[in-house]
Amino acid sequence: MKALVTGGTGFIGSHVVDALLDGGDEVCVFSRRAALPDRWRQRKVELVRGDLQDPDSLGEAMAGADLLYHVGEIRNTTRAAAEKNVRAFKEAVHQMKRRGLQRVVFVSSITAAGIPATVPATEETEARQTLEDHYTQYKSLCEEALAESASQLDYVVLRLPPVYGPRSRTLGRFLRIMKRIGPLGVPFIGDGRNLAPLVHVKDAAEAICRAGTASAALQQTLHITDGVRHSWFDFLSAVAEALGKRLRIITVSPLLLRFPAGLLDLGSVIFGVRADLTDYVHFFSRDIHFDNTKARERLGWEPAYTELRPAVREMVRHYREAA
Ligand SMILES: NC(=O)c1ccc[n+]([C@@H]2O[C@H](COP(=O)([O-])OP(=O)(O)OC[C@H]3O[C@@H](n4cnc5c(N)ncnc54)[C@H](OP(=O)(O)O)[C@@H]3O)[C@@H](O)[C@H]2O)c1
C-alpha cells in the first residue's frame, strides 16, 4: 500500500511514517522541505515537495497513493492560520474526490469534544462546555467537512490529546524550561490535580496507521488517549523527577484567572485577534478523561505506554541525548 502523509516531517507525523514503514508500506511525505531526515535514507520513503496552501501541489502528490494521512497543519493559533488550515483541508478533500483517492485519516484534537460533562467520558458523552478557540474551531470545521463528504469518501477522525514523547520541538523547549525551575516552583492554572488526557506519540502513531486500514473505524470519530487516570501534576512531577528536580506547583486560581483572561480575550477581539485565554483556563483546570474502549475495539489497538513515569524517563533521556 502507498500512503501519502502530510506533516510526515513533524513530531507525530515522523512516528506515523516510521510505523507505516515498519508495517511494510510505501510512504510519500508531503513537505515544503528540500530533503527528508537522514533516518529514512535507506527506507522506502519518497519526498513530494509542496505546500498545504497550494492545493494543486497536494493534488499532484496524490497520484499513485492509496490513502491520505492528514497529519500536517499550518502551525499557529491565530484566526488567520485556522482559516488557512480549514481552506487547505477542504481543498484536500476536493482534490481527493477529483482524483479518486478514497480514504483519509484526519488527525484532529480532543479539544473538539469540549469539556466532558462526566468522566470517564466516551465519544458519546455530552460536553459540559464547548471550546471556542480558533484551533478547536478549525478542527471542528474539518470534521464537519468530512461528515458532509461521507457518501463520497471513507474517512476516520482521530482526536488526539496532548501528545508526549521524542522528537517534539515544543516538548524540547518545555524540558529546557523545566530544567531551570527553582525552589519557588512552577505556576499552574489550579493545583494541577485535575484529570489530564495524554497519549504517548508512539501509541498515537500506531493508532493513526491502523485507522488507514481498519474497516470498523470507517466514518468514525475516535478518541486516542492512553485511557489512564492521571493529572497534570502527575505528568509534571514525572518530568521533574526525570530531570532530578523536586516539583512545587504555585497554584494560580482558575477563578481569579478567568476574569483577566476574559478581559484580555475581549480586548484582543477588539483588535481583531482572539487570545482564547478563557478556553485554555478551562482546558487546564477541569477534569478531562476519556475512556478509549471505542478506539481499541474499532482499531484493534492497545496503547503500550500506560505507565507515565518510565515513559517520561525515556522521553527525557531522548531529549538529553539529542541536545
Ligand atoms: N502535538 C500535540 O500534542 C497534538 C495534540 C493534538 C493534536 N495534534 C495534531 O497533530 C498534528 C501534528 O502535530 P505535530 O505536533 O506533529 O506538528 P509539528 O511537529 O509542528 O509538524 C507540523 C507538520 O506540518 C507540516 N507543515 C506545516 N506547514 C505546512 C505547509 N504550509 N505545507 C505543508 N506542510 C506543512 C510540517 O512540514 P514541513 O515543515 O516539512 O513542510 C510539519 O511536518 C496536527 O494536526 C495537530 O493539530 C497535535
Give pLDDT tens digits for 155-204: 999 999 999 999 999 999 999 999 988 777 888 888 999 999 999 999 99
- Residue 126 is predicted with a pLDDT of 96
Protein residue with least CA distance to atom 5, ligand 1: 162
- Residue 256 is predicted with a pLDDT of 72
* Average pLDDT for runs of 10 along the chain of length 323: 98 98 97 95 94 97 98 89 96 97 98 97 96 94 98 98 97 93 83 96 98 98 98 96 91 75 65 69 93 98 98 97 89
2-164+198-226+289-304 has which CATH code? 3.40.50.720
Residue 70 β-bridge partners = 6, 106
- Residue 186 is predicted with a pLDDT of 86
Measure the CA–CA gap between 86 and 92, rounded to whole angstroms: 10
Ligand 1 close to Cβ of residue 12 (< 6 A): yes
- Looking at residue 186, the DSSP 8-state letter turns out to be E
Ligand 1 close to Cβ of residue 49 (< 6 A): no
Q: Which of 28, 40, 68, 75 to probe ligand 1 with, by most ligand atoms within 8 A of CB?
A: 75
- Residue 273 is predicted with a pLDDT of 58
Q: pLDDT digits over 108-137, tens only? A: 999 999 999 999 999 999 999 999 889 999
Give CA separation, 55 vs 59, 88, 129, 146, in Å. Answer: 6, 7, 35, 17
- Residue 275 is predicted with a pLDDT of 61
> Position of cell 515544543?
170
Nearest to 50 by CA among 66, 69, 72, 65: 72
Nearest to 224 by CA among 304, 139, 292, 127: 292
Closest approach atom of ligand 1 to CA 9: 43
Half-sphere exposure of 10 (CA within 13 A, CB side): 20
pTM of the model: 0.95
Ligand 1 close to Cβ of residue 173 (< 6 A): no
- Residue 283 is predicted with a pLDDT of 92
- Residue 266 is predicted with a pLDDT of 66
- Residue 167 is predicted with a pLDDT of 96
Alpha helices in the chain (DSSP H): 11-22, 55-61, 79-99, 134-148, 169-179, 201-211, 232-242, 254-270, 277-285, 293-299, 308-322
- Residue 305 is predicted with a pLDDT of 98
Give one DSSP letter per residue of 28-66, joined into a string.
EEEESSSS--GGGTTSSEEEEE--TT-HHHHHHHTTT-S
Structural Rg of the chain based on CA atoms: 20
Measure the CA–CA gap between 199 and 192, rounded to whole angstroms: 18
Query: What's the CA-to-centroid distance between 26 and ligand 1, angstroms?
Result: 21
Counting every residue, how long is the chain? 323
Sheet bearing 67-70, strands edge to edge: 45-49, 26-31, 2-6, 67-70, 103-109, 154-160, 220-223
Half-sphere exposure of 120 (CA within 13 A, CB side): 14
Helix (H, G, I), strand (E, B) or coil at 189: strand
- Looking at residue 231, the DSSP 8-state letter turns out to be B
- Residue 323 is predicted with a pLDDT of 84
Ligand 1 close to Cβ of residue 10 (< 6 A): yes
